[in-house]
A and B are shown apart, each in its own frame.
Chain A
């Protein structure tokens, strides 16, 4: 692959304050335009790992370089990375006291200092793209889970990130709403967005992922293109995991 590296995580180790080691030397390289889906049993450190990429979790050993910026204790580095990296959460985490439109426009106006009218225009276009342009003046509590998650995606996109992180974006959704969110993500991938997705959606991984990574016990044990990963996994843990979800 010749595309530049967007995320370069090497030997990341993390201990929680109670002494539990959540990451034991996890590695992951993500190139521009790639969609990497991270799978693995619960407790394997998938969410913790993806949350280290934008500094939501700290780590004690190893190195992470995101879009050329080295993650360190320096607050300016973390802030710079967060401006370039969008994140979508399992629980949506929309701001319930702001309307949908205000949720989307808040960060670009505050952080990028762009004119409000221009951001609102862009926000409405993004909301149209995720199919909720008619709910712009409602509050998040008045929307369904699937709609809220699509607003959360639009909110991240309005910062014009170079990378999008998805932390189990469909796990808190009712089954009939999963598809509408995955469709938005699939379109985003088609447009060339670099994405790291923690997910259990096998079909999404098969259709959209450039590569699938399997995590177990705080390590990335296998990274492979989806076809190879799902049909001929090379690692024992991968075979075990696939047999459990099949």
Chain B
């Protein structure tokens, strides 16, 4: 196969001309465009008017710490700062290394344009948000330093990542599970650190702890359930079907209440000590059923010849599943699975109904404070933005992963053009 010449570039028309062609091609298009533009600008003006002259942002500024970490003890907060610093460092490092280690069939691109935009945005947000929150100068400086660390490591890893020998590269993926364990120790204590009981966790931190715990555990569980559902062993098959259909038939909130009451009996004592972890387990078991369905569609999409080819080469069934079937099935199931993760993240707001102080739970206590009476709109808006940021991050990560795993970008591009 020879490399063909790129398609001829059609000269793009001048911007004004293009605008006219896209918005006002026919009289009807014009009317629709004008109505939509008018509606949008009216909404934008109204929102800006509210945000600048009517909203009172003191409710956010005074409670930013509460929103972030709840009632975590003040003298132990250095541990969370350390964790955020480590997370930022690992993010910068992984981001840069991903760019420095392209796939075997692609060329390295140290700074694609989107990365520059993302870095600039990140810098701007970290400069502006602490200022807008009227954070203490010491805290502002910490945020700026952490962001600077992230971006510096991103640049350094992108520049010199290619020097890391090939054999060491897979090991570096291990920093994430290691960091997760370190983070759990830092948050909850132990190993010489003072214990901070889960009852004192709250805010965005609690939301992220619950969601990440459930996401990490529901994924392998869901994969096992999906495989079980297609197993040749009837007991395994019917057990999986029963579990999946039961969970999918019950609303999460009932399961959460049920979990608070019966999970203590089902799990060995050490695993379900208090309400926070009980809720995390319920979220895990709940999401696993949905992940299993997503993975099942991925398995169903795989041609049977793949398993046959793997088995004829002498691979055992577990080897064939691990190296041939699952990598392909999970890639197909990835968008739906990440969709489940995003739903899961949003479902953590239900925890406030069983009395946990997650982001929504904290928000409700803040709004109940007489000093901030009637400031619901500001609080809910900030909540929505925070959730949107987390979900957008998940979505971006998923799309990057999809792009990296796509075995033939070439082929899909052609079909997209033809369609």
Residues of chain A touching chain B, judged by Cβ–Cβ distance below 8 Å, are 54, 56, 79, 82-83, 85-87, 89, 91, 93-97, 99, 106-107, 110-112, 135, 137-144, 147, 152, 155-156, 159
Least CB distance, A130 to chain B, in whole angstroms: 15
Counting residue pairs across A and B whose Cβ atoms lie within 8 Å, the total is 83
Residue in B327, B405, B407 whose Cβ sees the most chain A Cβ within 10 Å: B407
Least CB distance, B2 to chain A, in whole angstroms: 11
- With contacts A93-B306, A96-B328, A110-B323 known, is A141 near B407, CB below 8 A? yes
Any A CB within 8 A of the CB of B250: no
Is the beta-carbon distance between A143 and B1 smaller than 8 angstroms? yes
Residues of B within 8 A of A95 (CB): 306, 309-310, 324, 328
Residues of B within 8 A of A141 (CB): 407-408, 410-411
Is the beta-carbon distance between B105 and A93 smaller than 8 angstroms? no
Residues of B within 8 A of A89 (CB): 305, 308-309
Any A CB within 8 A of the CB of B312: yes
Complex: how many Å from CA A110 to CA B1? 30
- With contacts A141-B408, A159-B313 known, is A106 near B308, CB below 8 A? no
Residues of chain B touching chain A, judged by Cβ–Cβ distance below 8 Å, are 1, 104-105, 303, 305-306, 308-316, 319, 323-324, 327-328, 331, 405, 407-408, 410-411
Name B411's contact: one of A94, A142, A144, A152 (CB within 8 Å).
Answer: A142
- With contacts A95-B306, A138-B105, A143-B1 known, is A82 near B407, CB below 8 A? no
Is the beta-carbon distance between A144 and B319 smaller than 8 angstroms? no
Complex: how many Å from CA A138 to CA B103? 10
Residues of B within 8 A of A107 (CB): 313-315
Q: Which residue of B lies closest to A143 (CB)?
A: B1
Least CB distance, A113 to chain B, in whole angstroms: 11
Complex: how many Å from CA A154 to CA B111? 38
Residues of A within 8 A of B411 (CB): 141-142
Residues of A within 8 A of B310 (CB): 95
Q: Can you name 22 A-B residue pairings with CB atoms under 8 Å?
A: A54-B312, A56-B308, A79-B316, A86-B312, A87-B312, A89-B308, A91-B305, A93-B305, A93-B309, A95-B324, A96-B328, A97-B327, A97-B331, A99-B105, A111-B313, A111-B315, A137-B104, A140-B408, A142-B410, A143-B1, A159-B313, A159-B314
Q: Which residue of A lies closest to B331 (CB)?
A: A97
Residues of B within 8 A of A144 (CB): 1
Is the beta-carbon distance between B314 and A83 smaller than 8 angstroms? yes
**Other A-B pairs, 17, CB within 8 Å; known A95-B306, A96-B407, A107-B313:** A56-B311, A79-B314, A79-B316, A82-B311, A85-B312, A87-B309, A93-B305, A93-B306, A93-B308, A97-B327, A106-B323, A110-B323, A135-B1, A137-B104, A156-B313, A159-B313, A159-B314
Least CB distance, A118 to chain B, in whole angstroms: 16
